[in-house]
Amino acid sequence: MNIFRLTGDLSHLAAIIILLLKIWKSRSCAGISGKSQVLFALVFTTRYLDLLTSFISLYNTTMKIIYIGCAYATVYLIYMKFKATYDGNHDTFRVEFLVVPVGGLAFLVNHDFSPLEILWTFSIYLESVAILPQLFMISKTGEAETITTHYLFFLGLYRALYLINWIWRFYFEGFFDMIAIVAGVVQTILYCDFFYLYVTKGEKVTETPLTSYFC
């Protein structure tokens, strides 16, 4: 494992922990798209089904379990424990416009036409667009808590580091996965759109110091 993949994984984990701490410490999920979190839970579920069939390493297995567990914990906090604070009126993105096309594309373009491989490909495609409901919610309300932008920043950093990881692996290992690379590029571009929204709507961001959620 190269340093770019490791730091990418840690950035991804940091984003998830920041979001969970934000919800738990504030006792609120205001400003967070529940639909995006459901999509991410679906991403991890369909991607890591190989936990049932193979073992790669302790690190690999541990990270997969953490991602799945945190994803469903986030969904539980939003739709169950702190449901009263969930802003469903602004979380209105039509996720079926993402899931259905992505599902069809996974059947048509994959590495191997087998159930696990199709589901893995589905997860790669879906992850590239799963953040759209969150971005749509920010653009619709015109505001976002600073802690939410930290979450999005670390997610964007994770994808950018993974792009470098793929370049590294191509040059030093001869590894090349067109599906993962194209999906990663699309996802990184979407996070660039987030930074545009953050700059243009920055004056409406609610300031909440990141360190306050770790105290």
The pLDDT of residue 10 is above 60: yes
Instruction: List pLDDT tens digits, range 150-185.
Output: 888 888 888 889 889 988 988 988 888 889 888 888
In this predicted structure, what is the pLDDT of residue 93?
95
Closest residue by Cα to residue 63 from 17, 10, 22, 20: 10
Alpha-carbon distance of 15 to 150, in angstroms, equals 7
In this predicted structure, what is the pLDDT of residue 163?
86
Higher pLDDT, 18 or 210: 18
Contact between residue 117 and residue 177 where contact means Cβ atoms under 8 Å apart: no
Instruction: List pLDDT tens digits, range 115-132.
Output: 999 999 999 999 999 999
Instruction: List pLDDT tens digits, range 95-112.
Output: 999 999 999 999 999 999
The owner of tokens 């105290």 is 215
In this predicted structure, what is the pLDDT of residue 211?
36
**Residue 66 CA neighbour count, 13 Å, CB half:** 15
The pLDDT of residue 208 is above 50: no
Q: At 206, is the secondary structure helix, strand, or coil?
A: strand
In this predicted structure, what is the pLDDT of residue 214?
39
Q: At what angle do helices 58-76 and 3-26 cross, to 10 degrees?
A: 30
User: What is the average pLDDT across 56-64?
Assistant: 94
> b/e map of 113-139 (b: 16 or more CB within 10 Å)?
eeeeebbbbbbbbbbbbbbbbbbbbbe
Closest residue by Cα to residue 89 from 33, 151, 153: 33
In this predicted structure, what is the pLDDT of residue 201?
52
The residue extents of the domains of the chain are: 3-202
In this predicted structure, what is the pLDDT of residue 97?
95
User: What is the average pLDDT across 75-103?
Assistant: 95
Alpha-carbon distance of 69 to 67, in angstroms, equals 6
The pLDDT of residue 213 is above 50: no
